[in-house]
């Protein structure tokens, strides 16, 4: 209560103090004017009209003094109605420092928030349409090929057994591509919807990386790539969901495989940095622009491979997005350092002390 009384003393920022001051000022002016007019009327007609003149003068002065406040209230009301009618670009002027000024700031803040929400809704809607378009395109491509090969087989439109086997093998490869796309899409939507439930356990990251690389090396060898491990650590522990963390590293390695110059080398680095574990996958490939760097972690974005190699498995464009979401669910971060075709995809996850 004392605080309210002190705030009232600052009449410039308190509308109650202003109204009180204007009422007192109007009263004294009304008294002065009514006395003068009352004497003047008494001289002319000989009657006393002091009380009536006092009331009229008080109402007149109070009305004139409070007119700017009423006008500003109308401005705020018009602004609110404009915003309510959908004009989210409308902003009310900030002309006062009192409570009405606070109301004006809150109205503008509300309009800003509503405008941001509408923009987010539009972005979400646009993103949904983009997702549907991309999924439809990526599902239709292998499906069309499968239908074509199956039609050829169904009509016996092949010359020999080798061609028959080739058609079957191609159709099978397309079904695997289709399955991988559906699996990636399911995992991506599961991770980004907030429904993912990770099962964390504390493990030795060194041992896990070595196992992943051992399984990856035969695939890399097929594409004339070698894998080099760069770390001196014997053990370093982190708390991870093993299945999803393995998926993250595997996605980074497959990305390096697709976009490396061949023959070439993929380097895997591991180190401890303060309170986190640093893991990086390096490769040398075709340089990309800054705009492409920004898009690499976007869903369904596919960069041009460093060399057209149709034996390299085609991706869904979701691998890096999935990896980034998994790392963030681990409380870490994922990024890219790129300079003239030298790529370093790195992840940082919390380290167990």
What sign results for the dihedral spanned by CA atoms 139, 141, 145, 148?
positive
**Average pLDDT of the segment spanning 308-312:** 47
pLDDT recorded at residue 57 = 81
CB 80 within 8 A of CB 106: no
Would you say residue 45 has pLDDT above 60?
A: no
User: What percent of the chain stands above pLDDT 70?
Assistant: 84
CB 11 within 8 A of CB 17: yes
Quote the Cα angle for 129-132-133, to 5°. Answer: 85
Q: For residue 236, what is the DSSP state? A: -
pLDDT recorded at residue 308 = 42
**Average pLDDT of the segment spanning 230-248:** 89
Tokens 């086997």 correspond to what residue?
165
Q: pLDDT category, 253, cuts 50, 70, 90?
A: very high
Which two tokens mark 203? 């493990």
Residue bearing the bigger pLDDT, 148 or 38 = 148
Quote the Cα angle for 324-329-330, to 5°. Answer: 100
Could you report how far apart the first and last alpha carbons of the chain are, in Å?
52
pLDDT recorded at residue 302 = 55
Rounded to the nearest 5°, which phi and psi values hold at 147?
A: -60, -40
pLDDT recorded at residue 27 = 84
269 - beta bridge partners?
230, 280
Peptide bond into 263 cis (omega under 30): yes
The residues, any chain, with a CB within 8 Å of residue 114's CB and separated by 6 or more, are 83, 88
User: What percent of the chain stands above pLDDT 90?
Assistant: 19
d(CA 113, CA 350): 34
228 - beta bridge partners?
267
CB 279 within 8 A of CB 346: yes
Rounded to the nearest 5°, which phi and psi values hold at 96?
A: -135, 160
- The pTM of the whole model exceeds 0.75: no
pLDDT recorded at residue 88 = 84
Which helix (H) or strand (E) segment is 228 a member of?
strand 225-230
**Average pLDDT of the segment spanning 108-118:** 89
In terms of Cβ atoms closer than 10 Å to its own Cβ (0-12, 13-18, 19+), residue 179 is exposed
The strand order across the sheet containing 276-284 reads 225-230, 264-273, 276-284, 342-350, 333-339
d(CA 349, CA 331): 7
What sign results for the dihedral spanned by CA atoms 234, 240, 243, 249?
negative
Q: pLDDT category, 49, cuts 50, 70, 90?
A: low
Residue bearing the bigger pLDDT, 165 or 267 = 267
Torsion of CA 252, 258, 264, 270, to 10 degrees: 0
d(CA 28, CA 41): 20
Name the average pLDDT for the chain.
81
d(CA 351, CA 353): 6
Would you say residue 6 has pLDDT above 50?
A: no
- pLDDT tens sequence across 174-225: 888 788 778 777 777 777 776 678 889 999 999 999 999 999 999 899 889 9
| Cβ neighbour number for residue 145 with a 10 Å cutoff | 17
Would you say residue 307 has pLDDT above 50?
A: no
Among 59-68, 262-271, 298-307, the range with the most confident prediction by mean pLDDT is 262-271
d(CA 14, CA 21): 11
């Amino acid at each position: 209560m004392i605080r309210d009384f002190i705030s009232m003393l600052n009449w410039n920022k308190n509308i109650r103090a202003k109204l009180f001051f204007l009422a007192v000022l109007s009263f004294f002016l009304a008294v002065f004017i009514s006395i003068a007019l009352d004497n003047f009327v008494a001289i002319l007609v000989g009657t006393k009209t002091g009380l009536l003149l006092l009331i009229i003068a008080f109402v007149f002065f109070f009305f004139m003094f409070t007119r700017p406040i009423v006008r500003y209230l109308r401005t705020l009301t018009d602004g609110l109605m404009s915003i309510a009618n959908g004009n989210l670009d409308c902003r009310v002027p900030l002309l006062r420092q009192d409570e009405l000024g606070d109301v004006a700031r809150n109205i503008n803040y509300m309009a800003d928030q509503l405008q941001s929400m509408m923009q987010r809704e539009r972005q979400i809607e646009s993103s949904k349409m983009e997702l549907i378009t991309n999924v439809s395109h990526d599902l239709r491509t292998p499906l069309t090929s499968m239908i074509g090969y199956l039609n050829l087989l169904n009509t016996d439109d092949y010359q020999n057994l080798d061609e028959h086997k080739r058609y079957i093998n191609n159709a099978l490869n397309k079904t695997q591509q289709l399955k991988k796309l559906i699996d990636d899409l399911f995992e991506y939507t599961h991770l980004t919807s907030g429904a993912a439930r990770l099962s964390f356990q504390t493990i030795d990251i060194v041992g896990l990386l070595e196992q992943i690389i051992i399984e990856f090396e035969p695939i890399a060898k097929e594409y004339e790539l070698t894998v080099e491990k760069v770390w001196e650590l014997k053990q370093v522990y982190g708390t991870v969901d093993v299945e999803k963390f393995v998926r993250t590293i595997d996605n980074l390695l497959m990305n390096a495989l697709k976009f490396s110059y061949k023959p070439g080398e993929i380097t895997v680095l591991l180190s401890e940095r303060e309170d986190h574990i640093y893991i990086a996958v390096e490769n040398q490939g075709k340089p990309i622009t800054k705009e492409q760097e920004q898009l690499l972690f976007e869903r369904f974005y596919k960069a041009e491979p460093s060399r057209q190699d149709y034996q390299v498995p085609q991706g869904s464009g979701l691998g890096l997005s999935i990896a980034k979401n998994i790392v963030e669910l681990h409380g870490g971060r994922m990024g890219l350092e790129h300079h003239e075709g030298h790529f370093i995809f790195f992840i940082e996850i919390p380290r167990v002390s």
